[in-house]
A and B are shown apart, each in its own frame.
Chain A
Amino acid sequence: MYGLIGKILRVNLTEGTVAEEYLSDVLVKKYLGGRGLGTKIYVDEVDKDTDAFAPENKLILMTGPLTGTFATSAGRLMWITKAPLTGTIGCANSGGEFGPELKYAGFDGVIFEGKSEKPVYLYVKDGKGELRSAEELWGQSVFVTTDKLIEETDPDARVCCIGPAGENKVLFAGIMNEKNRAAGRGGLGAVMGSKNLKAVVARGTGGIKVADKEGFLAACTDARKKLKENPVTGAGLGAYGTEILVNIINASGGLPKHNWRDGAVDPDADQISGETLAEKYLVRNKGCFGCSMACGRVTKIKDGPYKSAGEGPEYEAAWALGSCCGIHDLAAICRVNFLCNEYGMDPITLGSTFACAMELFDKGILTKEEMGGNLAFGNADAIVEFATKTALREGFGDKLAEGSYRMAESYGVPELSMSVKKQEMPAYDGRSLQGMGLEYATSNRGGCHVRGYLTSPEILGIPLKLDPLVTDGKAEILKIFQDLTAVVDSIGICLFTTFGIGLAEIGNMLRTATGWDMSDEELLGAGDRIWNIEKLYNLSQGFTREDDKLPPRLLTEPLPEGPAKGKVCELDVMLEEYYRLRGWNQKSVPTKEKLSELGL
């Protein structure tokens, strides 16, 4: 095999065994790798009635055929399992350097089964995997764990691990690598915690070969040149990071305030923008493996009550802890973001859950006594205090650790959780960006922005210009974006490359690396196939068309101001068209014709 190594490890944590397995060519061509291959293995091997925290559940780590090569931004890996937060299929993507290191160590991925009696970690070095005790590390933060494991194994090793949030089964705990890169959403870190698996360490001195050396070099050189020349990928992302979106989303009337209660225009948005971050706290930008865009933020708050240093925040995190909570102290937001990295927790769900609690407090449903603190809109100190309480499930933090839906439901007001399928929607108001409303409702892992990022055409005009206020044509473009994203997530490159290159360039890099004879259409078709196996899994979990909906606030409370004043999200008309274009019936079930078209 070229591109992919062709081998994975199967680790049985109950028995304490580690075994090698080979990947089949047929399977890999149909599902590509990463998200596609990992999901296919998952849905085939795990019984549908398995609970996320049961030992019978499996946790899969999978890289793609391009991971670790010279392809554009080719450092990505995917974690796949049933998401504890939503109960849907969960997959979380991460950058950094771990993915390539695992491949240099001789493996494309790892399947974790069972549950270890005592805390352990997996050490993969140059063709061999072994389980080692992690008892001394249990309870330690992501930062301490990473440093200690590097000391214990190899100075050039790379580490994936959970922090206290995952150990405490916070429903939105993530899996971190290189300390600050996150497979954040859905609570996959909690599954890892439930298995007593603390970390995976990789050290590889091997390499990756490609099928057509000259062709691959030419394809990559061409793609890299295009990324360099494009203003987003060549300059913008590196200079300002993802937080550059704050001001433009706000100006477009799409930055939800106060748990989406008070419209989506924030007069103080600039205080938490990418421009302000660059001006006040940015040390430098940083890139993941092989990436020329380098949108990572290395950030330092030099003094004041929130003095700290670390990486981030990204746009959705800054919004969730910022405008959504009525907070504009960027230093406090950075501090909480660093805490999320340290504890291994998703700041998007955290911020949205805080905001939900803040609204409940405003309404008198929650009291200061019950919360053990003053979690009110605008209280920057409170988000710092409660971040730790949530990660450690202390006091009211125990309720917050369940996410906004379960928390709001326990008080009889689930409609105040701004979530879809129990996962909180990030940072783009579906009433001003109609296409994003459709994405939230239909995304296979719940309220997710990134798997069908219509913000790009609706606000940035990339790769085509769509009017954010209309519903026409959104379903068609969303399907293409969702399918293409599935491809990108499966082959191991960063989604942000698609701001500057398209299916053609991606297809060229993939074909020359792997030697596969696959047209661009067939490649996009693989994306469609991957989307459908995720959907079939969700159907098996009892998710129906009724779950492809938005919170009542987005459907019935018109925006009070801004360019989208008076608008709600007109979901139903888009949804109907979406199901039709997907080849599903109006109950959102794939038809027999569609399934046979996809070879399922």
Chain B
Amino acid sequence: MYLPRKNYLNWVCSMIVRYFAYYRKDTGLKEEKFLLEPLTALELLVTLSERHGETMRSQLLSPDGKEIHPDVIFLIDGRNIDFMNGKDSLIQKDSVVSLFPRIAGG
């Protein structure tokens, strides 16, 4: 699906978003594909929250919607955004975004 947005660099990215653990239950999906103009990590989560409803919104975003929820692990092509630009990390090419709730251990 194509969602027209603010024009960063005039081209679109083919993005795959993968869901894990209980995000799968709450979206009903393992993954979905988007065509989007470049956007930040936070902006992507806002978009996903609009798509998937209140349960996901409350798990992905802070109550005021301005921050990413601390229990979200957000990887862009395997790199954690904590070591890029945090919520302002830009997704600007064909990427795989992986979203995990912070619930693991072994």
Interface 0/1 of B10-41, CB less than 8 Å to A = 00000000101110100000100000000000
Does A248 sit within 8 A of B, measured CB to CB? Answer: yes
Nearest 9 interchain pairs by C-beta: A236-B103, A563-B78, A242-B106, A315-B106, A251-B98, A467-B83, A244-B104, A245-B106, A563-B79
Q: What residues of A have a CB within 8 angstroms of the CB of B103 in the complex?
A: 231-232, 235-237, 239-240, 244
Q: What residues of B have a CB within 8 angstroms of the CB of A247 in the complex?
A: 20, 98, 100
Give chain A's interface secondary structure class: helix
| Chain A contacts with B in 459-518, Cβ cutoff 8 A | 459-462, 465, 467-469, 496, 499
- Selected contact of A499 from candidates B18, B73, B105, CB within 8 Å: B105
A232 B104 Cβ-Cβ under 8 A = yes
Interface 0/1 of A278-318, CB less than 8 Å to B = 00000000000000000100000000000000000011100
Give bound CA distance, A275 to B103, whole Å. 12
Most chain A CB neighbours (cut-off 10 Å) among B30, B82, B106: B106
Binding site for A on B (CB under 8 A): 18, 20-22, 24, 30, 71, 73, 75, 77-80, 82-83, 96, 98, 100-106
A236 B78 Cβ-Cβ under 8 A = no
Give bound CA distance, A242 to B105, whole Å. 5
Query: Known interface pairs A232-B105, A314-B106. Does A240 touch B21 (Cβ–Cβ under 8 Å)?
Result: yes
B21 A244 Cβ-Cβ under 8 A = yes
Chain A interface size, under 10 / 10 to 19 / 20 to 34 / 35 or more: 35 or more
Sample 6 A-B pairs with CB under 8 A, ordered by A number.
A251-B75, A251-B98, A275-B24, A467-B80, A467-B83, A496-B105
Give bound CA distance, A274 to B24, whole Å. 12
- Selected contact of A316 from candidates B18, B24, B75, B106, CB within 8 Å: B106
Does A456 sit within 8 A of B, measured CB to CB? Answer: yes
Q: How far is the CB of A312 from chain B (nearest CB, A)?
A: 12
Q: What residues of B have a CB within 8 angstroms of the CB of A469 in the complex?
A: 83
Give bound CA distance, A315 to B73, whole Å. 19
A253 B105 Cβ-Cβ under 8 A = no
Give bound CA distance, A467 to B86, whole Å. 13
Give bound CA distance, A427 to B105, whole Å. 13
**Residue of chain B at shortest CB distance from A278:** B21
Give bound CA distance, A123 to B106, whole Å. 33
B20 A232 Cβ-Cβ under 8 A = no
Give bound CA distance, A469 to B83, whole Å. 10
Does A252 sit within 8 A of B, measured CB to CB? Answer: yes
Does A557 sit within 8 A of B, measured CB to CB? Answer: no
A231 B73 Cβ-Cβ under 8 A = no
Q: What residues of A have a CB within 8 angstroms of the CB of B75 in the complex?
A: 251-252, 563
**Residue of chain B at shortest CB distance from A279:** B24
Interface 0/1 of A247-287, CB less than 8 Å to B = 11001110000000000010000100011000000000000
B24 A245 Cβ-Cβ under 8 A = no
B82 A460 Cβ-Cβ under 8 A = no
B106 A460 Cβ-Cβ under 8 A = no
Q: What residues of A have a CB within 8 angstroms of the CB of B18 in the complex?
A: 251
Most chain B CB neighbours (cut-off 10 Å) among A240, A315, A456: A240
A461 B104 Cβ-Cβ under 8 A = no
A245 B82 Cβ-Cβ under 8 A = no
A237 B105 Cβ-Cβ under 8 A = yes
A232 B102 Cβ-Cβ under 8 A = yes
**Residue of chain A at shortest CB distance from B96:** A251
Give bound CA distance, A499 to B71, whole Å. 13
Does A562 sit within 8 A of B, measured CB to CB? Answer: yes
Q: What residues of B have a CB within 8 angstroms of the CB of A563 in the complex?
A: 75, 77-79
B21 A461 Cβ-Cβ under 8 A = no
Q: What residues of A have a CB within 8 angstroms of the CB of B21 in the complex?
A: 236, 239-240, 244, 274-275
**Residue of chain A at shortest CB distance from B83:** A467
Q: What residues of A have a CB within 8 angstroms of the CB of B78 in the complex?
A: 251-253, 265, 562-564
